[in-house]
Amino acid sequence: MPAPQTARPTGYDLMAGTGEGWPHLLKRFPDIGAITAVDISSGMHRRAMQRLHAHRAHKIAFIEDDVLASDLPDASADFVVSTFGLKTFNRE
């Protein structure tokens, strides 16, 4: 991912799951202002935050949403990633 062009970029992690990519994203771009995890499972997100990301909680927001039928506003993020979700799609 190229470096975001804003001072405190914000972005989405679509189908975020347990946030596997957040540590790497925040290490590479320490000036990220916030990552909004978008996932259909609020329970998975809650467990991930408790077990894996409690020390990053100030940088991670959450939206419970189906990204395949989402109303996320256009141009509402400086970056979008989807590390977990893309690897789980099948041709159908």
Q: pLDDT for 6-51, tens place per residue?
A: 999 999 999 998 898 999 999 999 999 999 999 999 998 998 899 8
* Residue 7 DSSP one-character state: S
**CB-facing half-sphere around the CA of 86: CA atoms within 13 A:** 8
Q: Which positions ≥6 away from 54 have C-beta within 8 Å?
A: none
Q: Which positions ≥6 away from 84 have C-beta within 8 Å?
A: 15, 16, 17, 18, 20, 21
- Record the pTM: 0.87
Contact call for residues 65 and 40 (beta carbons, < 8 A): yes
